[in-house]
Amino acid sequence: MNKQKESISTFRKMAAVTKLLFGTAARKYPAFFVLEVLRTLIGIVSPFIALYVTPRIVDELTGDRDVRKLITLAAVLVLGEFATAMAGEIMGNFLARYQTRLENYFTMLIGEHAMHLDFQLTEDKNALDQLEKARTGMSWYSGGVYGIAEQIFSGLGNLIKSIGFIVILAARVPLLLLVMAAYVGINAYFAAKRNEIDLIAYGKLSKVNRLFGYFGWEVVDPRYGKDIRLYHAEEMMTESWKENTRRSIAHWKWQADTGLKYLMGAEVLGFARSLITYFYVGLLALRGVYSIGTFTQLVQAAGSLDGSLGTCAMSLFELMKRCNYAYEYVLFMEYPSPIPKGDKPIAKKEHVIEFRDVSFAYPGTEKKVLDHVNITITPGEHLSIVGLNGAGKTTFIKLLCRLYDPTEGVILVDGSDIRTYDYAQYMEQFAPVFQDFKLFAMPIGENITLEDEPEKAKKAEPRLKELIGTVGLGEMTEKLPKGTDTEIFKFFDEEGIEPSGGEQQKIAIARALYKDSPVLILDEPTAALDPKAEYEIYHQFHTLAGGKTALYISHRLSSCRFCDCVAVFSGGKIREYGTHDELVARPGGLYAKMYEAQAKYYR
């Protein structure tokens, strides 16, 4: 029952893989499949030339010895084999070019899909595992579309050839076909066993590989450099790497050792099959049942049938195995989205935002990080969100930006549940500068505009220049020989720059302003900024935001004085709400206390 279930699911996987992978590949590279079909046809024709011509040559040599006929037959044989071999090589050469193309194309599709995944999946262990499995499953594990197509076409070609050989043998030595059937059956069992082992190993390897990759490659990333050196983490990292290498090797060893007996079994089986074949056909020839020409044809056909059936079975099992690996790609591409997406259009304009009794716990956790939050933000309002670390301020923003959905309650924009809006259009409404924003190893300009086409980037130049000036980076970029074309970081360019914390913040702010969304959000800048610099950034942001809705998050109160309203978060609740002056005047209030504690910075 279980076995049957497994085999059904393997065939389903094969169907799903073929449909998705080949459908995608055929739309991009149709010529690849045309070439595969042509090469397969050539491969099918090739052995039958010898199979039909050689016996005639032998019979002619042992019979009439007509020189003209012999020359003609030899010419057909040699030229036929030469032509098919040449054509096969040429096709193979063309086909090989598609290997890298297909590989790169699917790697890009995986990356693209990973970037489009709902944000909360980037913290989901299962989704991360699935991404890793899709990557490895589509690389050397399965050979991707190229590797799978090779197996399918090789299997089909050999199947058709086998049928041809069987027809020849069935007419003269039908008993031999029984031996072949037994051979194929037992061999199939061995191959299935090896398949099972490979799949088990593969399932376990993805985690080991991720750990190995992390300790092997991530930690040598220069960004970790300072912490590793100053905290002497080198030894610990190397040890972790060694430990994961040991684990990885243990997996491979287990896989090889467990599969060895089946490999050896297959060898012994092949030996027995050859022995029986030659003995039986040889015996018939000795008895003079067939002409010498026919004898050579039968020996050749039997030998070729061995080969083609074996290859066919191998291709089928290899195909099943590869499809099992590549199925991880299908699973990843169809990974269920935890966030429902509506289709209601939403225009880029000022909005009324309302949190109505919103509570939230991060997926997989119990703790309510937001606890019955109620607040309305009017169009164009500048709201300051303050509170100590861990109060839930960033989470509030993440919910608003739909990186997560509330566990309870509802967020309304212009009176509609935000889940009903078109997701991409909804995302266009917000331009946040997160605390942990990331700049890319790309030119400053591209970091700000993130335009994907050169023409759009060209068009963006005047606005880019203006923004660079507005955020106060004009002086810095003017000093650089390549201006805004200067690369950030030195990954790909010796002349790349390492901007300071404040400069990075400014680039990120310019990026947010360039997006021109109705709601601007500034999460508290990294602690690297001193209160004065932070005050300046907030003040500047306030001016730049102008009439747009602007949300400022901070545990310092530098932003509050120029904001319309202040919401004080504590323990996931909004404890106090009002203008700066109202809250400061509230005796014993949370805000008043925080203000008093920090006032020395602002006086």
**Helix or strand holding residue 432 (H, E):** strand 430-433
Q: In the complex, what is the shortest distance from the CB of residue 476 to ligand ADP, in angstroms, rounded to a whole number?
A: 29
Q: How far is the CB of 129 from ligand ADP (least distance, A)?
A: 17
When asked if residue 393 is in the footprint of ligand ADP (CB under 6 A), the reply is yes
Phi, psi values for residue 190, rounded to 5°: -60, -45
User: Any contact of residue 387 with ligand ADP (CB under 6 A)?
Assistant: yes
Among 365, 462, 479, 481, binds ligand ADP (CB under 6 A): 365
Q: Any contact of residue 394 with ligand ADP (CB under 6 A)?
A: yes
Task: Compute the least distance from the CB of residue 555 to ligand ADP, in Å.
Answer: 7
Residues in the chain: 603
- Residues paired with 386 in a beta bridge: 554, 568
Show the binding pattern over residues 540-569: x = contacts ligand ADP (CB under 6 A), - = does not. Answer: ------------------------------
Contact status: 391 vs ligand ADP (CB under 6 A): yes
Q: Quote the tokens at residue 215.
A: 């300790």
Q: Which is nearer to ligand ADP, 382 or 393 (CB)?
A: 393
Q: Per-residue DSSP letters for 350-419?
A: ---EEEEEEEE--TT----SEEEEEEEE-TT-EEEEE-STTSSHHHHHHHHTTSS--SEEEEEETTEEGG
Q: In what order do the strands lie in the sheet with 382-386?
A: 430-433, 519-522, 549-554, 382-386, 565-570, 573-578
| Residue 482 DSSP one-character state | T
Considering only residues 101 to 160 of the shown chain, the ones binding ligand ADP according to CB under 6 A are 123
User: In whole angstroms, how close is the CB of 595 to ligand ADP at the nearest point?
Assistant: 18
Nearer to ligand ADP, 143 or 387 (CB): 387
Among 390, 409, 472, 531, contact with ligand ADP (rule: CB under 6 A): 390
What's CA 584's distance to the chain center, in Å? Answer: 51
Region of 21-29, 214-222, 392-400, 445-453 interacting with ligand ADP (CB under 6 A): 392-400
- Tell me whether residue 486 or residue 559 sits nearer to ligand ADP (CB atom): 559
End-to-end Cα separation, the chain, in angstroms: 79
Distance CA 558, CA 532 (A): 8
**CB 556 to ligand ADP: min, Å:** 12
Element (H, E) at 549: strand 549-554
* In the complex, minimum distance from the CB of residue 396 to ligand ADP, in angstroms, rounded to a whole number: 7
* Residue 392 contacts ligand ADP per CB under 6 A: yes
**What is the C-alpha separation between 205 and 250, in angstroms, rounded?**
10
User: Which one of residues 286, 343, 389, 600 is an interface residue with ligand ADP (CB under 6 A)?
Assistant: 389
Of 176-184, 208-216, 217-225, 387-395, which segment contacts ligand ADP by CB under 6 A?
387-395
Q: Write the interaction track for ligand ADP spanning residues 303-342; mark x where CB under 6 A is met and - where it is not.
A: ----------------------------------------
Binding of ligand ADP by 362 (CB under 6 A): yes
b/e string for 123-154 if b means 16 or more Cβ within 10 A? ebeebbebbbbbbbbbeebbbbbbbbbbbbbb
Residue 190 token pair: 């061995």
Contact residues: ligand ADP, CB under 6 A: 123, 362, 365, 369, 387, 389-395
